[in-house]
Structure 1
Amino acid sequence: MVQHCAGLPLAIVVLGGILATKNNSLNEWRKISDNVKSYLKKSKNQRPDDVLASSIASSKQKERDGGEIAEDVAESYLMELVESSNIRSLLFFNEFFPEEALEKSLPLEVLNYVKEHEDEVCNPLVCIFMISRAGTSCLKARGIWRYMFNNFKLLRALNYEITRGDHSVGFKLPSDIGNLIHLRFLSLKDLKFSWIKLPSSLGNLRCLQTLDLRVGNYEIHVLNVIWRMEQLRHLYLPFMCKSRTKLMLGTLRKLLTLVNFNTKNYYLKDLINMTNLRELGINFPFNFENFNEKELGENPFIIRSKYLHSLSIITQWLILSIDPRHLAHLLSSCTSICKLSINYARISKLPEYHYFSSHLAYIRLLGCEFKEDPIRTLEKLPNLRILEFESSFEGKEMFCSAQGFPKLESLILGAYYNLEEWKMDEGAMPSL
């Protein structure tokens, strides 16, 4: 990297200062190496506004070029703030907000609105208080929702999450939510709906970048409107989705995170268009019914994102089977993943090691019920460092060869009640 400094002492000092603040991980140093020119622009001779302008311009160019994206830049800035030794303020926000303080802070028009609707609920002020922090037990008072949705039209982020100890019976999400056309962030995580059908007006939220629909453990009816949210970057689908037809997601080309995807409610081929995907979470069922045997033999990639680093496959309640051929086909499409998690998916055997990404550093296998010893495959992964292997083998004997697990540092084993013997050749797991 010194060659980029052109022999200038100040440039070398600046670069050295940047490297000194990093955590010495290979990933961090590679980022600096790839972007050293933009870092060198941040010299002490520049004014803060110049540095900010150049960093914004360079980050936008990287995103256009398909490299580092806004989330990566933001994370690097946050890490720089965390390592600042001259911090001036540290704020802690208490979980509970006194009701009398809340009442004084509310706008007069809100208080008047509450007084006018006192007959509709026992205490509307308590409703607003519960919305603010303590819980959602009074959210069924739809008047409060409608007031917010019709008067806070410039709202950018709306986060409703159930809190511990909240046993609300549920509520209906008003269609007025479609008025919040400037929303970037919407979370309905763990909420309990008395009306399981979400309003079609959700499709009006075209500016959404994050949508979390992981409501309670029951089926929720989602209409085919998500495809209209083309700015989405992070999409968390319901644990169980009820829909008459499959929902289209192929227009969501900017997605970075997709969680709870399955082939019952969504089209498998839509994954092909998500070329920026970083994290993919698959829920059951997951089958290749859209591909015939000939197409599977030709090995068409169903995932074309070269940035995908995390893949998880999980079933929430029942242990279901996955065809080893389908798993092999999926893994062969994920050429850059470094993290793999498979939970409670019954698989007779693991695919051969060449189907796995050579970048894999972390693997978690829980409740997979393998019939054949999976160690013979896992030990060949060249960069595997962490293996969590629990309740996933029904056989009596496992074997690890002398060259097995060359970089494994951490191993967790558990719940192997049938296992009688594990043979280890000398020289196996040298880094454990």
Structure 2
Amino acid sequence: MAVASNCQKSSLVKVHDLQPLSEDQSFEFFKKKTFRYDLDGCCPNELIDISIEIAKKCRGLPLAIVAIGGLLSTKERKLHEWQRFCDNMTLELKKDSHLTGINKILAFSYDDLPFHLKSCLLYFGMYPEDYKVESKRLIRQWIAEGFVKEERLYTLEEVAEGYLTELIHRSLVQVSSVRFDGKTKSCCVHDLTREMILEKCEDLSFCKHISGDDPSSLSGIIRRLTITTDSNDFTKCIENSHVRSPFFFANVWQFFIEDFMRKIVTKCRRLKVLEFEAFSKDKLSNFLNENLGSLIHLKYLTFSKKKRLE
């Protein structure tokens, strides 16, 4: 976007803002890449529905369609195999050599970012797959984490909005919805971009995820933690860690949240960000009023009833 704008020699020259492909365009492009060698770009009837579903998961990104279409062009035309690939696409993409080039391209895009934008992009790794996060919420979390630099004449929120806009212009972040004033209301990252982010998060120990796996594998210093499990077996691990920003995305927390919060206020005094998804604060209002003051470093706290997983 910046290169195109700098190439404008007059106001009459229009800069074309390249948009993702539509679902119909994605499917047509997918067919050409997947069935070009043996079926002249035509999709077998028994694979039409699953092909449409796979093309949708590419979310209009030609780079993803080329890679996935090339991968599937080498597989047998059996519905059950394609369904298994679709259901486990993230895992399949990790182990396939077709994506080597894409990973390098995305890694170059990440490496080209200034330092402060790298942290902002990696923060999307805190959210589950296909998660659409509200831009205001994300911006406040960036500020609480200390990612946003002060600039004269601008508020921190305005500076952070500029960060988000730059990530969008670099095509690393996708706009999910727009507000009435044209600003980004919610955003997300493509599955392929998210895989690159998670790899970077692992290499840099930026954040950790706890789902259904054994939480006892957690070790060392953990600054940011995302929990999507319904079990509370990992609470001892958190107590012994140096977590600063835990995110919770499990409904079952309402059954043992008070016990966990007691541990939080006594064991994790340096928390900066505390995020609870799909949870009401009503049950904890008295407890929070009495104990939250001990978390003197806390800059961001959210209890949200509404799920944003889509």
Return the structure number with greater strand share: 1
Give the structure with higher Rg (CA). 1
- Fold-level match, TM-score > 0.5? no
Return the structure number with greater helix share: 2
Q: Give the TM-score band, short-chain normalised.
A: 0.3 to 0.5
